[in-house]
Amino acid sequence: MENHEPVQEEEERNPKKKNELWEWLKALAIAIILAFVIRSFLFAPFVVDGTSMMPNLHDRERLIVTKLIYFFEQPTREEIIVFHATEDRDYIKRVIGVGGDKVEVRDDQLYINDKPVEEPYLAQYKEKAHAEGVPLTADFGPINVPKGELFVMGDNRRNSKDSRAIGTISLDRVVGRADVVFWPLDEFRFPNKTVK
């Protein structure tokens, strides 16, 4: 009489293997979908390219940009944002003026709606510029920021291509807010917390 037990055991093992494979495939698919949703709608990595945000952000630093925040609120003055400057290039700059604001710089002093505004995040560069006998920010304006637009500038005012050159940017070009510097690790910080 033939013994069929090994075949039966193999048949019992195969469905378990198929089930396990199916579970792994489902988990992988869910992970891919979650990664896509997180990257598209919640957070995105960004690499600082250049020195236009010095001394507060440095070339090659890596950031996490929060995208979701601007589904619920609009950017506010002093926030550091990432936006689409061109079809294939994103910029990182600081919001100086929002829709309805009048922006002007006279004698290295920023004025919003004719009121002087302190910029503590520029103190280091301002001191250095004044020691060299030059203003950090050359006079410009007044510029009226249209509704639905932002006026942005880099913190390194003498070396930044920003709204003084490219004009105001529309809110629909904003990618998100630069919330976390995560690389290099010893520079980990929250760049927008310093202005609140």
Report the 10 Å Cβ neighbour count for 41. Answer: 12
Asked if 196 is an active-site residue, the reply is: no
C-alpha atoms less than 13 angstroms from C-alpha of 42 in its C-beta half-sphere? 7
Of the residues 67, 93, 160, 163, only one is catalytic, namely: 93
CB atoms within 10 A of CB 110: 20
In the numeric block, which tokens belong to residue 77? 């003055």
Catalytic residue among 17, 26, 40, 52: 52
170 catalytic per annotation? no
- For 64, other C-beta atoms within 10 Å of its C-beta total 18
Residues 6+ apart with CB under 8 A from 196: none
Instruction: Count how many Cα atoms sit within 13 Å of the Cα of residue 141 in the half-sphere of its side chain.
Output: 28
Pairing of strands 169-170, 149-153: antiparallel
Instruction: Report d(CA 42, CA 67) in Å as an integer.
Output: 5
Token pair of 167 as six digits:
């004009």
Please tell me the total number of residues recorded for the chain in this structure: 196
Which residues are known to be catalytic? Answer: 52, 93
